[in-house]
Chains A and B, each alone.
Chain A
């Protein structure tokens, strides 16, 4: 390629030609500077090739599965003795071997994956080489928005000796992705993920990765490739984490172990809603109701700022938190942040409550056989009136949701006492219950074969009585006018999306209904498709008190993450106009719709309690559980569905993260909707979502 040597000459020509009024002298100089910067870093930019591994990484909510291409990827040398950093995306398909070509080295090297930084989605490789050229890092404090930024890659040209590929842009923002990444409008894509982003002086700003603040995992943000929305982890930060990575231990996110009261990250101050048992917060003694006002000496006004302050931290990092509790301010210095793995099971009694019951306490609708309550001798028809720890007094509670809250504050395996009023003979007994865990240790969850039809007291609109006869709060206000029933077609407020609601003709506002939001597969948004769906569901809707809602995707290519707002708007519409049981709001989808259901579920825990997906697998690692906002899963696939394997894997990953999961396979079926048996089970699963 003789042309390379000619480039400077070309530039000079531009400079020398005074004739054209616009001859971009400055641009030619910029061009020279960029080429010089690239030459400076090029020797440290390596080409990575892999062998084996999966073809398709399970799809993202964007729709089409992410194909992990067979082509080479890019990495950056970070220490002379053979360490190479790269984007975890490049290994997301779990290749069996990794090879690294270093410019100027005749032989390729076999590489070992040393460790992965799961917070920044970077993987450290080691090759058996020494004396490698290490690029200089641009000091973070010097990096300014508007700086020229060039992204380098080694994928387009198979020859590692050729100059790397270049895309030129600017630094668009700092401290993105909760404080972890630089943002650039240079074109970032699989063509250069894992390569360096360099400034005009040839200093490395960072290493490029796909990313998205709203989701996690190696493929998060892949849909933004080449859009001018790109991210890079500052090399300075990588260098700081290098010693830990070299030890071979994956680096995980540091967690405080709290959830915020409001789903609104920006409006209200950050108020603790729940504290995870044996989390950093729990150990330090943070309490629900605490308002976080300062982290590491930096004042915070909203929860988003808390997430920013914690976003950059690793498991084991220390953080100082200052809260307002009532009138006083308390400081908790040097909390040691926990890791993702401290996922916790949900403590359960193993009963289903009778619904829509204004009386204090909880009527027992169903007792799970061999469950804690069963073992302790709780019987169907009994009424649980009080609960309490082994020491301390029994306390009355107002009903199902109150009891759920009390249980949430304990941990599985704890012994508690419950006072029951027996169905027969009206006598009360105090029983000792050892709380079970949901999901049951490491295994999938199950569904009772049969549930009592009797599920509600039909007094949803009556004011709930307080234990000890406190002033009853006003009843859930619903205007008296008869609500619409049957199939109702609507448009979202902005008019952007159409959706439909199905409400059983015999709708009774005194019964709380389950809500199932159906996210149709690609293209299945015609009237006929809706009818087909209703045919399958309509009788269940009547018999099991279910309201259906069906937003329609805007794009023919399927659902996009931004439409998650639409789905929630539709759900809120139903919630506001009908008596809906907030503990049984389910997002249900198939194929891309199923992807979307999983996405919506994880990103709207304040609304969604269950996700039922068929023929769809999870795009990324599951997000951690949120206490007080339980989320259960019903996964289904035909055993001939090419995705079945991935779906099964999703199940396992969810169980690892201690989510209750039901998994069903339809034998001799491909990518198709649930068979009658599975559908029957799905309905029972929905009916038992308010398990205690």
Chain B
């Protein structure tokens, strides 16, 4: 016992001896504080029944948390467990439900259910991962080797070894790590889905992958985190309960391998891709994609910048065609092939065991989960959709106004000044019996075209009238359906399509500046008969910015509508400038002076 006392005295003595520089102690104190600040937001994820598991991180007070798809992957209809349990560092275990999936990007969004309605969760602030540089310090937190038997995360500290890294998909095109962050910060099995923080305690990545060729399944100084900026592009899709897909361009690119600097050359271009219609041809050189130059980093650089965008987005593309520099917006296609899509879970896997499903979800979870093909959890899609429509209607509610619609004014059509009039109303058919909605279009007072949009057996030429408009009559008819009937105006498909950039048209005689023209938008995706459409709403205030109506799906450009200059018409806001574009051309620019939307 005596020796113990001696030790303590001696210990005290030593501690007092030659003291450490105050800056060092301060730096340590700051690190401790930074960790303390964010630790409560770190989640230990368990499959129901407390087996297996990984990590996650809360990103808002309502309990939304990010993790990896491969952490929640399991016998769910969309290839993810609908239900899991999440422990927080306060030692409490919460039920959680799957919200959104990004299988290619290996990301899943889940929601922790508060013990008491309205209880708030601690959460981490999203940082800007593009500000991160190799050589910065970072902190990883999570549950490696399931050490957190008390749910308190393991904190590891280390250096960012590289940024904008590319790591190949693991078979089947899933789990592709593009534009990711490489760290020597220790990451091990169980860290998956956990946060990577910068030293300000901002969330800059989701740890998901390590190199373990050398020693089975342990860290060898090389770990990868999905950059938070990539996840931000998908966040709207995830919140909307979608089972999302990543992007492809529709053309193949090859790195020219002669000595000296790299050249990114287009080799083949698919028949039906938007890029071909925008003028991309084999032999062209890619210069920049979505604002990022492509020469220096070869194929990896290209895959990196392509990989961070969701299918369906439009991004700026700069390429050289026979020494002519061209700049355009290109619509991105998906990467997950249908069959693969089914394989990976939208249809139950044929050879997957019927069980184990784990214990059935508790009622609280069952209440907020709804399976539907193409969705991770359709319950959240409905929620997002209805929220968006509610804000939209607050600017003007047209529900049930299915009477005659007249949009008239003057403007330019195919470059010529003229007056324009659209009329949409229900009419008796030739036989004088059944009533359908007919859209009529007059130029300079003369009615030139009409369309009975729902009549069967019409040629695409009919549907795309007037010529050069890409089908503005059909488009405006759907516009009326949306405003007057909402989801009832469409078939089965009327869902929230997540977040997308919307680009206002390039003003006459100006060079495009897509960064300036870009508006953050939320999308409602619809399908009426064979005609799919996307409706773009401002994320700021929910006003309808425009639409893309694809009268001829895939093989042809959609008819683009741009709404602006909203004015009140008996208390409801309606657009008074409408621009119609098709392909590279503007079809019409209309200054509206009459806009009536009558009730029945």
Which A residues are within 8 Å of any B CB, using their own CB? Answer: 25-26, 29-30, 32-33, 36, 40, 62-63, 78-81, 83, 134-138, 144-148, 169-170, 172-176, 178, 183, 185, 200-203, 212-214, 223-224, 227-229, 239-240, 242-243, 263-267, 301-302, 304-305, 307-308, 489-496, 555, 557-558, 560, 562, 565, 568-569, 572-573, 576-577
The 5 A-B pairs of least Cβ separation, nearest first, read: A228-B186, A136-B11, A264-B50, A146-B32, A576-B355
**Interchain CB contact under 8 A, B219 and A572:** no
Q: Tell me the complex Cα distance, A465–B23, Å.
A: 77
Q: Which chain A residues border B156 with CB–CB below 8 Å? A: 169-170, 172, 185, 228
Could you tell me if B21 and A227 are in contact, using CB atoms closer than 8 angstroms?
Answer: no
Given contacts A32-B21, A145-B35, A183-B147, 4 further A-B contacts (CB under 8 A): A134-B7, A146-B32, A147-B32, A202-B14
B432 interfacial by beta-carbon distance below 8 Å:
no
- Asked whether A173 and B85 contact (CB < 8 A) given A134-B7, A200-B20, A200-B25, the answer is no
Contacts of B46 in A (CB 8 A): 266
Residues of B within 8 A of A264 (CB): 49-51
Determine whether the beta carbon of A145 is less than 8 Å from that of B155.
Answer: yes
A173 and B20 within 8 A (CB): no
User: A267 and B49 in contact (CB under 8 A), knowing A173-B155, A228-B188, A493-B356?
Assistant: yes
Q: Are A185 and B18 in contact (CB under 8 A)?
A: no
Known: A136-B14, A493-B353, A494-B70. A80 touches B3 (CB 8 A): yes
Q: How far is the CB of B562 from chain A (nearest CB, A)?
A: 44
The answer to whether A242 touches B188 (Cβ under 8 A) is no
With A212-B145, A239-B7 in contact, is A493–B74 under 8 Å at CB? yes
Q: Is the CB of B93 within 8 A of A266?
A: yes
Of all chain A residues, which has the CB nearest B344? A495
Q: Do the beta carbons of A223 and B218 come within 8 Å of each other?
A: yes
Known: A33-B21, A228-B186, A266-B50. A170 touches B216 (CB 8 A): no
The interface residues of chain A lying within 8 Å CB-to-CB of B4 are 239-240, 242-243
Given the known inter-chain contacts A146-B157, A228-B156, A305-B91, please indicate yes or no for A562 contacting B18, CB distance below 8 A.
Answer: no
* Interfacial chain B residues near A240, Cβ < 8 Å: 4
What is the CA–CA distance of A84 and B354 in the complex, to the nearest angstrom? 57
The verdict on A491 contacting B145 (CB below 8 Å), with A201-B15, A304-B150 known, is no
| A493 lies within 8 A of B352 (CB) | yes
Contact for B216 among A212, A214, A265, A555, CB less than 8 A: A555
Give the one of B15, B52, B148, B188 with max A CB within 10 A: B15
Expressed in whole angstroms, the minimum distance between the Cβ of A396 and any Cβ of chain B is 33
Asked if residues B75 and A493 are in contact (CB atoms below 8 Å), the reply is: yes
How near does chain A come to B440, taking the closest CB pair, in angstroms? 55
Chain A residues with CB under 8 A of B354: 576-577
Given the known A-B contacts A494-B74, A577-B353, are A146 and B155 also in contact in the complex, defined by CB atoms under 8 Å? Answer: yes
Q: Which residue of A lies closest to B148 (CB)?
A: A173
Q: Identify the closest chain A residue to B22 (Cβ).
A: A29
What CA separation (Å) do A675 and B217 show in the bound complex? Answer: 34
Question: Can you name 15 A-B pairs with beta carbons within 8 Å?
Answer: A33-B21, A136-B7, A173-B154, A176-B149, A213-B146, A228-B185, A242-B4, A308-B150, A490-B351, A492-B353, A495-B73, A495-B79, A562-B217, A573-B356, A577-B354
User: Which chain B residues border A26 with CB–CB below 8 Å?
Assistant: 23-24, 27
Nearest CB of B to A296, in Å: 16
What is the chain A residue whose CB lies nearest that of B152?
A173
- Which of B35, B92, B147, B152 interacts with A146 by CB under 8 Å? B35
Contacts of B23 in A (CB 8 A): 25-26, 29
- Chain B residues touching A, range: 35 or more
Contact A136 B15 (CB under 8 A): yes
Roughly how many angstroms separate A134 CA and B12 CA in the complex, as a whole number?
12
B39: contacting residue among A145, A224, A301, CB under 8 A: A145
Partner of A30, one of B27, B36, B49: B27
A265-B50, A266-B46, A555-B216 known; A79 vs B85 contact (CB < 8 Å):
no
**In the bound complex, CA of A172 to CA of B18 (Å):** 26
Q: What's the least CB distance linking A573 to chain B, in Å? A: 4
Complex interface: chain B residues within 8 A of A178 (CB):
149
Residues of chain B within 8 A of A214, CB atoms compared? 145-146
Q: How far is the CA of A32 from the CA of B192 in the complex (A)?
A: 35
Contacting pair A227 B91 (CB below 8 A): no
Residues of the A chain whose Cβ atoms lie less than 8 Å from the Cβ of B75:
493
Q: Is A572 in contact with B355, judged by CB distance below 8 angstroms?
A: yes
Complex interface: chain B residues within 8 A of A562 (CB): 145, 189, 217
A573 to B353, Cβ gap below 8 A?
yes
Contacts of A40 in B (CB 8 A): 14, 17
| B43: min CB distance to chain A, Å | 13
**CA of A174 to CA of B153, assembled, Å:** 10
In the complex, the answer to whether A267 meets B85 with C-beta atoms within 8 Å is: yes
Interface centre among A228, A265, A267, A577 (most CB of B within 10 A): A228
Binding site for A on B (CB under 8 A): 1, 3-4, 6-8, 10-15, 17-21, 23-25, 27-28, 31-32, 34-36, 39, 46, 48-52, 70, 73-75, 79, 85, 87, 91-93, 144-150, 152-158, 185-186, 188-189, 216-220, 344, 349, 351-356
How close is B133's CB to chain A, nearest CB, in angstroms? 11
Q: Is the CB of A29 within 8 A of B21?
A: yes
> Once the chains are docked, how many angstroms separate the CA of A301 from the CA of B150?
11
Shortest CB–CB separation between residue A663 and chain B, in angstroms? 30
**Residue of B with least CB distance to A303:** B50
A30–B26 Cα gap in the complex (Å)?
Answer: 11
Interchain CB contact (< 8 A) of B10 among A134, A201, A229: A134
Docked Cα-Cα span, A365 to B356, in Å, equals 34
Q: Known contacts A80-B3, A136-B10, A172-B155: does B150 contact A305 (CB below 8 Å)?
A: yes
B147 near A266: Cβ-Cβ < 8 Å? no
Partner of B150, one of A62, A83, A175: A175
Choose from A29, A223, A302 the contact partner of B24 (Cβ within 8 Å).
A29
Q: Is the CB of B7 within 8 A of A137?
A: yes
Q: A26-B23, A214-B146, A266-B46 are in contact. Are A80 and B6 (CB under 8 A)?
A: yes
Given A175-B150, A494-B73, A577-B354, A560–B11 Cβ distance below 8 Å?
Answer: no
Cβ-defined partner of A229 (8 Å) among B24, B144, B351:
B144
Are the C-beta atoms of A243 and B154 separated by less than 8 Å?
no
Asked if B31 and A170 sit within 8 Å, CB to CB, the answer is yes
Name the CB-closest residue of B to A39: B18
Question: How far apart sit A223 and B217, CA to CA, in the bound complex (Å)?
Answer: 10
Chain A nearest CB from B475 CB (Å) reads 42
Residue on A with the closest CB to B4?
A: A239
Chain B residues near A228: list those with CB within 8 A.
156, 158, 185-186, 188, 219
Partner pick for A36 among B10, B20, B32, B186, CB 8 A cutoff? B20
A65 to chain B, nearest CB (A): 14
B27 to chain A: which residues have CB within 8 Å?
26, 30
Instruction: Note all chain A residues with C-beta closer than 8 A to B155.
Output: 145-146, 170, 172-173, 185
Question: Are A201 and B20 in contact, with the CB atoms below 8 A?
Answer: yes
A contact residues around B17 at 8 Å (CB): 40, 202
Is A491 in contact with B7, judged by CB distance below 8 angstroms? no
Cβ distance B333 to chain A, nearest Cβ, rounded Å: 25
A147 contacts across to B, CB distance below 8 A: 28, 32
Whether A267 touches B50, Cβ cut-off 8 Å, given contacts A136-B15, A172-B155, is yes
Shortest Cβ gap from A289 to chain B (Å)? 21
State A145–B148 Cα separation when bound (angstroms).
14
- Measured in the bound complex, the distance between the Cα atoms of B215 and A558 in whole Å is 11
Highest count of chain A CB atoms <10 Å: which of B49, B91, B356: B356
Q: Which residues of A contact B34 (CB under 8 A)?
A: 146
Q: Which of B8, B20, B31 contacts A137 (CB 8 A)?
A: B8
Given contacts A493-B75, A560-B217, A573-B356, contact A185 B158 (CB under 8 A): yes
Query: Once the chains are docked, how many angstroms separate the CA of A289 from the CA of B3?
Result: 46
B residues less than 8 Å from A243 (CB atoms): 1, 4
Measured CA separation A560–B49 after assembly (Å): 21
B52 A565 Cβ-Cβ under 8 A: yes
Cross-chain contact B11 with A145 (CB below 8 angstroms): no
Within the complex, the shortest CB–CB distance from B341 to chain A, in Å, comes to 14
Assembled-state Cα–Cα distance A201/B22 (Å): 12
Q: Assess whether A79 is in contact with B14, with CB atoms less than 8 Å apart.
A: no
